[in-house]
């Protein structure tokens, strides 16, 4: 018997499972060969069964289409009277399946039981709406047993086609597998035919940038402390072959509003697995949020973990100056500027910043991903080694514009939903970048507003 992450390719034999160490557990994903008993002569035929997200399907081979598929919650099942026998009541008939050994039998029985677990309402009491998008809401909730506050992300599945569902499955796989002090904790996952409920740690402090804007003053010491924590979270992800792909202000949250802040990374909706630092797919998707995507993404080159470090560079630039390094009248103009990798550090804002602070920004905003600082290298940079040694005096740049109420929100682009639009933007950016010799120059600071 072989255990692997849910994202791994199926093996040629045996049974494999995946599940997370969540508070109340989540339905296990399991797949492997079982033996189906015939109706008349009780002959046994090999069938490849897949249990995923509460749906059970039967296949003649590992890669063939399902001969049938049912929702486990709608089909009673029970151990049979014979050794390693599982009896499943389908809508039209009863089928007996036999595992090869007792260990596989117990794995299947446990997985099927977990798929019939109670719903989110049995464990959590919903409260006020915290946020809402086209296909999802986030609500405040309380654990009925423990009394703890949490945030529940409610995703309506009907807004996704089968290919887009892959993003949701991958998001669940990643969120169940990660655990780090600087990553928002996933408490529970409840999956039903119509909705996906992801129960998350409640980040009462809200967005990092809102706290900074409300404080009225901000020092390099504070900037280094929060940047170090963000990079530690990214370092952990990269060590586990995960690329976040959507590091931006809305996805950096705080446990509370009190200094020193404890910041955590959120939202793995666009995250993906990598191999040797590169996204696994042959042609990585043009994916991310305009303003924060790296040049190699805009230029449709192969990319990987360095894209997250570029986004950290953008965040740090904004924290220190109150301005965007890459901007424009619309997303196309912004992407065109990013594609060149050119930006400026106007003296009005940057003369107040230390040489080491500017050095780190430049190291992160390297257009060449091979020259860009990695998470490990950034954490060894002089500016981040010991934040307490930095100046605690206010920088005195105007940071009021970074508040979410004043910030121009740019939505993340999920490639499978709007790949045509984002690729058109990228093509326009590439086409016009070579014809413009004034990209990144001659602009007023007001055009750099966040």
Peptide bond into 421 cis (omega under 30): no
Structural domain boundaries enclosing 129: 120-201
What percent of the residues of the chain are helix, what percent strand, and what percent coil, each to the nearest 5?
A: 35, 25, 45
Q: Are residues 107 and 156 in the same domain?
A: no
Q: Is residue 441 part of a domain?
A: yes
Q: Are residues 226 and 281 in the same domain?
A: yes
Q: Is residue 5 part of a domain?
A: no
Q: Is residue 10 part of a domain?
A: no
Phi, psi (degrees; rounded to nearest 5) at 99: -85, 155
DSSP strand E in 223-286: where? 242-243, 252-254, 263-265, 272-275, 278-279
Q: Is residue 291 part of a domain?
A: yes
pLDDT of residue 171: 87
Residues, the chain, total? 450
Residue 257 marked in a binding site: no
d(CA 395, CA 323): 13
pLDDT of residue 14: 60
Q: Are residues 235 and 248 in the same domain?
A: yes
Per the structure, the count of domains in the chain is 3
> Where would I find the H helices in 206-289?
208-215, 220-239
pLDDT of residue 190: 85
Q: Are residues 141 and 86 in the same domain?
A: no
DSSP track, 67-129:
SEEEEGGGS-EEE-SSTTEEEEE-SS-EEEEE-SSHHHHHHHHHHHHHHT---GGGTEEEEEE
| pLDDT by 10s per residue, the chain, length 450 | 333 333 333 333 466 655 545 666 556 789 999 999 987 777 899 999 999 877 899 999 998 999 999 888 788 899 999 999 999 998 888 999 999 999 999 999 988 887 776 678 888 999 999 988 777 899 999 999 899 999 999 988 887 777 677 778 888 889 988 999 999 999 988 877 788 899 999 999 999 999 988 887 789 999 999 999 999 999 999 999 999 999 999 999 999 999 899 999 999 988 999 888 888 665 556 788 889 999 999 998 999 999 999 999 999 999 999 999 998 888 888 999 999 999 999 999 999 999 999 999 999 999 999 999 999 999 999 999 999 999 999 998 888 888 887 655 444 443 333 334 444 444 444 444 333 332 232 332 334 666
Choose among 364, 336, 355: nearest CA to 231.
364
**Pick from 81, 98, 115: which residue ends a domain?**
115
Q: Are residues 162 and 96 in the same domain?
A: no
Q: Are residues 231 and 174 in the same domain?
A: no
pLDDT of residue 359: 98
Q: Are residues 292 and 350 in the same domain?
A: yes
Global pTM reads: 0.73
Query: Cα 425 vs. chain centroid, distance in angstroms?
Result: 23
Q: Are 363 and 373 spatial neighbours (Cβ–Cβ below 8 Å)?
A: yes
Q: Give per-residue pLDDT as tens, 78-127.
A: 999 999 999 999 888 899 999 999 999 999 998 888 777 667 888 899 99
CATH number at residue 147: 3.30.200.20
Q: Is residue 105 part of a domain?
A: yes
**Pick from 201, 220, 255: which residue ends a domain?**
201
Adjacent-strand bridge partners of 152: 139, 199
**Pick from 179, 201, 223: which residue ends a domain?**
201
d(CA 274, CA 238): 8
CATH number at residue 52: 2.30.29.30
Q: Is residue 62 part of a domain?
A: yes
Set 191, 210, 241, 246: catalytic member: 246
Q: Are residues 98 and 246 in the same domain?
A: no
Q: Is residue 310 part of a domain?
A: yes
d(CA 321, CA 346): 9
Q: Give per-residue pLDDT as tens, 273-317.
A: 988 888 866 555 678 888 999 999 999 899 999 999 999 999 999
Q: Are residues 214 and 361 in the same domain?
A: yes
CATH number at residue 285: 1.10.510.10
> What share of the chain has pLDDT > 90, as a percent?
55
d(CA 276, CA 274): 7
pLDDT of residue 366: 97
Q: Are residues 325 and 436 in the same domain?
A: yes
- Encode 158-170 in three state secondary structure: HHCCHHHHHHHHH
Q: Is residue 8 part of a domain?
A: no
Q: Are residues 45 and 95 in the same domain?
A: yes
d(CA 309, CA 295): 12
Q: Are residues 335 and 435 in the same domain?
A: yes
d(CA 384, CA 357): 9
Hey, how many other C-beta atoms are within 10 angstroms of the C-beta on 9? 7
Give exposure, 140-161, as e/b (b: 16+ Cβ within 10 Å): bbebeeeeeebbbbbbebeebe
- The three-state secondary structure class of 194 is coil
Give CA torsion, residues 208, 214, 219, 225, to 10 deg: -20
Indicate if 246 belongs to the active site.
yes
Give CA torsion, residues 450, 357, 412, 246, to 10 deg: -160
Hey, how many other C-beta atoms are within 10 angstroms of the C-beta on 3? 13
pLDDT of residue 246: 94
């Amino acid at each position: 018997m072989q255990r692997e992450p849910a994202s791994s390719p199926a093996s040629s034999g045996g049974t494999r499972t995946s599940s997370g160490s969540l508070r109340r557990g989540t339905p296990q994903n399991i797949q492997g060969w079982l033996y189906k008993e015939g109706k008349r002569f009780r002959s046994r035929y090999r069938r490849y069964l897949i249990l995923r997200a509460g749906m059970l399907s039967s296949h003649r081979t590992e890669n063939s289409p399902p001969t049938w598929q049912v929702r486990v919650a709608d089909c009673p099942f029970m151990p049979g009277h014979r050794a390693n026998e599982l009896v499943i009541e389908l809508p039209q008939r009863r089928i007996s399946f036999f595992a090869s050994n007792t260990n596989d039998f117990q794995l299947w029985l446990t997985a099927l039981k977990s798929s019939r677990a109670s719903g989110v309402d049995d464990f959590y009491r919903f409260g006020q709406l915290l946020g809402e998008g086209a296909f999802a809401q986030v609500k405040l909730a309380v654990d009925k047993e423990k009394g703890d506050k949490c945030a529940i992300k409610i995703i309506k599945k009907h807004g996704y086609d089968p290919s887009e569902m892959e993003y949701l499955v991958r998001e669940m796989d990643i969120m169940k597998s990660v655990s780090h002090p600087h990553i928002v904790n996933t408490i529970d996952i409840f999956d039903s035919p119509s909705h996906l409920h992801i129960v998350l740690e409640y980040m009462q402090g809200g967005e990092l940038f809102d706290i900074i804007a409300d404080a009225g003053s901000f020092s390099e010491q504070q900037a280094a402390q929060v940047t170090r924590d963000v990079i530690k979270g990214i370092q952990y992800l990269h060590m586990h072959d995960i690329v976040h792909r959507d590091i931006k202000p809305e996805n950096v949250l705080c446990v509370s509003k009190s200094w020193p802040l404890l910041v955590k990374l959120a939202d793995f909706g666009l995250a993906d697995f990598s191999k040797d630092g590169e996204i696994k797919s042959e042609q990585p998707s043009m994916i991310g949020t305009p303003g924060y995507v790296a040049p190699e993404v805009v230029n449709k080159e192969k990319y990987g973990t360095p894209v997250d470090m570029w986004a950290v560079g953008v965040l740090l630039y904004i924290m220190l100056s109150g301005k965007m390094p890459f901007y424009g009248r619309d997303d196309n103009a912004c992407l065109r500027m990013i594609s060149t990798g050119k930006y400026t550090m106007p003296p009005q804002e940057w003369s107040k910043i230390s040489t080491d602070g500017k050095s780190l920004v430049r190291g992160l905003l390297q257009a060449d991903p091979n020259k860009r600082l990695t998470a490990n290298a950034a954490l060894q940079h002089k500016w981040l080694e010991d934040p307490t040694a930095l100046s605690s005096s206010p920088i005195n740049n105007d940071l009021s514009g970074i508040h979410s109420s004043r910030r121009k929100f740019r939505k993340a682009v999920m490639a499978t939903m709007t790949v045509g639009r984002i690729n058109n933007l990228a093509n326009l950016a590439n086409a016009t970048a070579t014809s413009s010799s004034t990209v990144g120059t001659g602009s007023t600071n007001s055009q750099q507003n966040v």
